[in-house]
């Protein structure tokens, strides 16, 4: 909520038709030690049993050290899911010594691999290389960083708000993560240019690596999703 980095909260609106919206109180706002200095971007995932969960980036100090937290609905019977709880076992993920702790944010919606483990990616930076760091978990609570990022590109600066999803080659319907006849899209917001870019490619599910097609330029000279400052 808001156009500048400041007291960032998760604004909350609901709709039955995606046209008319009702504004509610913020769903997530700074209130705990693990997000005292900010509740930054993240994503929602629906777990088995139709249980939604939010992963979001919390800022823990004035130096903008970033960790990954979760929140769950206080009352699943509330159709608006007005109130969200941030359990005390947060944070779920903290940056290790290989990660720039001030450039480590914006977890994606999780997807389940064929091995039964959840996967997420987050944007980060190592030197001048933009990274989509991957984490895996069997229970959604204990996360382990993958040996390699899902993808990275030299000289692109910090990646923010990544998204990773399949698109159909044949139809217009939505797809599961491992749908047949599909390509994959990796979207990033580039901190250096303040625009959003994407590539289209393939996903090697055995190696958990994304490979852009030769026709997709893998930098800010490539396909742009957003032509305005984000």
Q: By the 8 A CB rule, do 210 and 201 touch?
A: yes
Instruction: Give the chain's domains with CATH numbers.
Output: 1-94 (no CATH), 96-230 (2.115.10.20)
By residue count, the chain amounts to 230
Could you tell me the pTM of the whole model? 0.92
- In tens digits, the chain (230 residues) has pLDDT values of 555 666 789 999 999 999 999 999 999 999 999 999 999 999 999 999 999 999 999 999 999 999 999 999 999 999 999 999 999 999 999 999 999 999 999 999 999 999 999 999 999 999 999 999 999 999 999 999 999 999 999 999 999 999 999 988 887 776 666 666 789 999 999 888 888 899 999 999 999 999 999 877 787 777 888 776 65
Residue 199 CB contacts under 8 Å (≥ 6 apart), including other chains: 185, 186, 212, 213, 216, 217, 218, 222, 223
**Distance between CA atoms of residues 226 and 198, nearest Å:** 10
Residues 6+ apart with CB under 8 A from 19: none
For every residue of the chain, DSSP letters joined together read --SSSSS--EEEEE-SSSSS-EEEEEEE-S-SGGGTT-EEEEEEEEETTTEEEEEEEEE-STT--EEEEEEEES-TT-TT---EE--TT--SB---TTS-TTSEE-PPPPEE-TTS-EEEEEEEEETTEEEEEEEEESSSSS-EE-SS-SEEETT---EEEEEEEEEESS-SS---TT-SSEEEEEEEEETTTTEEEEEEEEEETTTTEEEE-TTS--STTSEEEESS--
Bridge partner list, 131: 124, 152
The Cα 105–Cα 117 span in angstroms is: 21
């Amino acid at each position: 909520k808001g156009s500048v980095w400041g007291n960032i909260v998760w604004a909350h609106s609901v709709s039955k038709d995606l046209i008319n919206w009702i504004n509610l109180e913020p769903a997530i706002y700074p209130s705990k030690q693990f997000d005292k200095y900010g509740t930054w971007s993240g994503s929602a995932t629906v777990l088995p049993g139709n249980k939604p969960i939010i992963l979001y980036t919390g800022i823990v100090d004035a130096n903008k050290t970033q960790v990954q937290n979760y929140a769950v609905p206080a009352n699943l019977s509330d159709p608006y899911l007005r109130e969200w709880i941030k359990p005390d076992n947060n944070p779920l993920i903290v940056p290790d010594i290989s990660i720039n702790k001030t450039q480590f944010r914006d977890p994606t919606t999780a997807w389940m691999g064929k091995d039964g483990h959840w996967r997420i990616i987050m944007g980060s930076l190592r030197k001048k290389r933009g990274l989509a760091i991957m984490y895996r978990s069997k229970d959604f609570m204990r996360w382990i960083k993958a040996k390699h990022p899902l993808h990275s590109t030299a000289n692109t600066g910090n990646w923010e708000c990544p998204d990773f999803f399949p698109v159909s080659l044949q139809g217009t319907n939505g797809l599961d993560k491992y749908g047949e006849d599909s390509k994959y899209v990796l979207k990033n917001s580039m901190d250096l240019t303040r625009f959003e870019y994407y590539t289209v490619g393939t996903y090697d599910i055995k190696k958990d690596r994304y490979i852009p097609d030769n026709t997709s330029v893998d930098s800010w000279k490539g396909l742009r999703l957003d032509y305005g400052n984000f």
